[in-house]
Amino acid sequence: MSKRLGRAVTVMNVITAVITIAIGVSFCISFNNATDTINTLMGIVVIVAGCLNIALFIVNNQSLISGAGIWSALLIALGIYFIQEKPANLIINFIPWILIAMGALFIVDALLGLRRKEGFSSFIIGIIIGVAAFVLGICLVSLESFRNVSALILGIIIVLYGIFQLVSAFNNRIKIK
């Protein structure tokens, strides 16, 4: 990987991690009135993800007319939809399933990370986040009282994930040098 591309990827990873942490904190702060916050933040996240993807294509001198380029444009459109149409109830009902899927993904990735020799600290962080997300998702599906605090729980998970992204961005930066 070229040095220029490596720096661009590191900067984008750090920006994504900081935005992720900010979104998690916003969920934690506004969990009593979560629907408007969820709409706005989900819209912003999806728009930023699409824009960062497009920026990565530009840095790499790749054509935007590709599967991933079109996917980036769809992400931006979806973000605008979230901000305009306010489909938060759908998202709130979907949060438990997101947590279960994220939890399973983190657990599997942590186990594969051991195989890739990524380090024990990445493994521990991945397992902790994965198990927490998975268990909380199961609780949200099966216990009605947990649904009242689902935005707070999701906020905590998002903050932990943002910290994980930040640590990973700096670990990858060290490896690129």
Q: How many whole angstroms separate alpha carbon 81 and alpha carbon 108?
A: 32
Share of the chain above pLDDT 70, in %: 79
Strand runs (DSSP E) across 37-126, as ranges? Answer: none
pLDDT band at 33 (very low <50, low <70, confident <90, very high): low
What separation, in Å, do the N-terminal and C-terminal C-alpha atoms of the chain show?
10
Both tokens assigned to 150: 């689902």
Tell me: pLDDT of 92 over 70: no
Range of the domain at 124: 3-176
Tell me: pLDDT of 2 over 70: no
Residue among 139, 132, 124 nearest 159 (CA): 132
**Total number of domains in the chain:** 1
> Is the CB of residue 135 less than 8 Å from the CB of residue 156?
no
Residue among 78, 66, 71, 79 nearest 19 (CA): 79
Residue 86 sits at φ, ψ, to 5 deg, of: 60, 60
Q: How many whole angstroms separate alpha carbon 44 and alpha carbon 102?
A: 20
How far is CA 56 from its chain centroid? Answer: 17
pLDDT tens-digit map of 54-71: 887 777 777 777 777 788
* Residue whose structure tokens are 């444009």: 73
pLDDT tens-digit map of 104-125: 988 888 888 777 777 777 778 7
Q: For the whole model, what pTM was predicted? A: 0.52
Q: How many whole angstroms separate alpha carbon 32 and alpha carbon 15?
A: 28
